[in-house]
Amino acid sequence: MHAYTFQEVQTVVGISRSVINAMLAAGLIVPGRGARNEYLFSFQDLVLFRTAQSLRAANVPTREVIRSLKRLERFGADKPATGMRIKAVGGAVTVADAHGQWQIESGQRIMDFDPDKPGGAIVMLDPLAKASRNLSGYELFEIAQDLERDEPGEAERAYRSAIAADPTLVDAYLNLGCMLCDRDSYMEAIALYRQGLEYSPAAPLLHFNLAVALEDERHVEAALSEYHACIRLAPDFADAHYNAARLHESLGDTHRAIRHYQQYRRLASPR
């Protein structure tokens, strides 16, 4: 089977070096190596490069191209060489499979009815309501991230659905907890972080964020305990040392405050 060099890919596909490098960095393509350690690409790789170039030609930013192709992998779809049609529609990246067309970025299915028939329209379905898609916890988490800025209520619902689907998904607890704290719902965030720690007790960031929420509720000793739990799991967590130092100082424990300040300065100083 013929293998394509870097230059051949650029010539055949018309794709820029920067897009190729971005796809390699994202792990979308893992090339082989030639006798001189040069990159060698397969025909499957060439098809994926061609897909990426068609999206770039439709003015889809490189970052969105990479995100969409990565997300397509997570949805369990195979690479574009297996009959899936990927294209840009109205600035969104869509894929057509055996069941129809859907947006990769949002996960929304696009149902195109005959406009000549009564009630004909293009209908966008709520991705969280599509039980037939059987979205995983991580897929729901990614949907929640995309909704955060413009639809925080829907984002919260998606994060809770992600946690229900996968109670070990630490990032979902972290992001949802930050949203709760942003609207001053500290007790709700505290309960959420503690729920997360039941499933992932060795997650330093859960302990750290729990400590911050406890501080906001003026539970100083409980917060200090969580900062120490974070430090036990991640001794190089500079911010945890700094916050622990502050709280020790506020409690009059100067010796331990100095020790944590020293650790913080050591970790935070330029190498």
Within 8 A by CB and 6+ apart from 38, the residues are 5, 6
101: left (phi over 0), alpha (psi -120 to 50) or beta: beta
Which fold, 167-271? Answer: 1.25.40
How far is it, in rounded angstroms, from Cα 200 to Cα 182?
Answer: 23
Cα–Cα distance for residue pair 210/204, rounded to 1 Å: 10
Ordered per-residue pLDDT tens for the chain, 271 residues = 578 888 888 888 888 877 888 888 888 888 888 877 788 888 778 878 888 888 777 777 777 778 777 776 655 444 443 345 555 555 555 555 544 554 545 445 444 444 444 444 433 445 555 433 567 888 888 888 888 777 888 889 999 999 999 999 999 999 999 889 888 899 999 999 999 999 999 999 999 999 999 999 999 999 999 999 999 999 999 999 999 999 999 999 999 999 999 999 888 776 5
The single-letter code of the amino acid at 246 is R
